[in-house]
A and B are shown apart, each in its own frame.
Chain A
Amino acid sequence: MNIHHHISDELLFDYANGALEEGWSLAVATHLALCPSCRKRLAAMEAAGGAIFEAIEVEPASASKEDFSWEAMRARIDNAAPVREVPAAKVVSARDGVLVPEPLRSYIGGDVDKVKWKPLGLGAYHYPIKTSDEDISVRLLRIPAGKPVPEHTHGGRELTLVLKGSFSDVSGRFGPGDFEETDETVDHQPIADPGEDCICLAVTDAPLKFKSRIVRMIQPLLGI
């Protein structure tokens, strides 16, 4: 896999320190599965996290308190049900035919050929993915070859990970494994490259939700 567009330091850092919500993390972790160089950068950040963790100043506790804590730990280990042995991490090489890596594959219940696409109009389809944050929209998009990404208005952050095919916009060409990060300050109109439909994972801040039904109804007309 020839990846040209990677995760920014600040986004990867949020993932490394645990501050990134599930939807964004899904795009980051799926790119990481495909990209050894971003994994290396993540490892460096976690190493920094380890060094900072190691430097935590601890207020001295009484020896008896520490002993008490250790006894509680021992009791817990003695009483714990035996756990299934965790096999040591083993690396299996990529195989042809499996397109979508974990963690995304479990979220969509299989590979992209199993996805129950919903039409968006003009030949484009999407498949919404549920996560625990309602204000983050996560979905697969399938854009017909040579066509623009539909309904492309968003505020806030937008992450796109290409799974199949490619698209181009002002930032360049994005093929399988490539990761694009934009926000509302970037005026871009992605267009799928000719030749093949483009399938990607798109994560955005969800459109603002208004309480009033009338505002909700005219929201699409106002483009907000």
Chain B
Amino acid sequence: MISAKVRVRKLEKTVKEPDKEELSACLLAVGARKDIQAFEVLFRHFGPKIRAFMLKRGGNRQQAEELMQETMMMIWNKAALFDPARGSVSSWIFTVARNVRIDAFRKTNRPEFDPNDPAFVPDAEPAADDVYQAGQEADRLRGALVKLPPEQADLLRLSFYEEISHSAIAERMNLPLGTVKSRIRLAFSRLREILGDAA
């Protein structure tokens, strides 16, 4: 129990703003051994964001609280699927929250590929330093988002926050569809350039 005490003290010290490495370590700890203290760190950091994310789609505070708890439960159960080589903690949590929100508001299926399917065409062998890169990428991406022209950044923010299609955005913002498409293409070609990837 001594180590648990030390851990709690350490958590208290860092409870203000845990950094990405800590959050990543927490999610791995939940995945590996259902570490409830690590989960509390994740809950206190991401819970309010998930609640706000749910509210942006509509509904009331109580529903947002329920959907946040639902998302966190999903994170608790599926943490073992988190692979830091494939992306950052916040992108993983974003995709879980997104899927909970689709289920709740749209009540339709969102078909997804299955990496364990025998017909799935796998990636080329991942590089040894992928874990390191994924962390770096998240930083570079954050920096790059800030530098996007405002009309592109606003469009991305609106789409991710409110889950609306590019054609609905064109209507909402009273823009020609072609303009919205080219803003999306410009934004992502810029972001991919930052990530050093011409895919």
Contact = CB atoms under 8 A, between A and B. Distances in A.
Interface of A: 1, 8-10, 13-14, 17-22, 25-26, 29-30, 32-37, 39-41, 43-59, 61, 66, 69-70, 72-74, 76-77, 80, 83, 85-95, 98-105, 107, 131-133, 177
A2 B72 CA distance: 40
26 contacts: A1-B121, A9-B185, A14-B159, A14-B166, A19-B164, A33-B114, A34-B121, A39-B123, A41-B192, A44-B188, A48-B156, A49-B91, A50-B89, A50-B138, A51-B141, A53-B97, A53-B160, A69-B47, A74-B36, A76-B69, A76-B73, A91-B115, A98-B119, A102-B117, A102-B120, A104-B111
A43 B123 CA distance: 12
B147 interface: no
In the A-B complex, the 10 residue pairs with the smallest Cβ-Cβ separation, listed nearest first, are: A50-B91, A101-B119, A33-B113, A50-B90, A103-B111, A19-B165, A58-B48, A53-B94, A54-B90, A102-B114
A51 B120 contact: no
Contacts of B138: 47, 50-51
Interface string B104-115: 000111111111
A47 B87 contact: yes
Given A29-B111, A94-B120, A131-B108, 8 more contacts: A1-B121, A33-B119, A44-B188, A47-B87, A53-B53, A56-B161, A58-B49, A77-B76
B120 A18 contact: no
A37 B199 contact: yes
A73 B72 contact: yes
Interface of B: 31, 36, 39-40, 43-44, 47-49, 51-53, 65, 68-69, 72-73, 76-78, 80-81, 83, 86-95, 97-99, 101-102, 107-124, 137-138, 141-142, 145, 156-157, 159-161, 163-166, 168, 180-181, 184-185, 188-189, 191-192, 195, 197, 199
B44 A40 contact: no
A35 to B, nearest CB: 7
B161 A70 contact: no
A39 B184 CA distance: 17
A70 B117 contact: no
A14 B180 CA distance: 12
Contacts of B53: 53, 56
B197 A44 contact: yes
A91 B122 contact: yes
A59 B111 CA distance: 34
Contact of A48 (B49, B141, B164): B141
Contacts of A73: 43, 47, 69, 72-73
A103 B113 contact: yes
A85 B53 CA distance: 28
B188 A52 contact: no
Contacts of B159: 13-14, 17, 19
Contact of A52 (B40, B72, B160): B160
B156 A92 contact: no
A76 B102 CA distance: 22
Contact of A66 (B48, B93, B156): B48
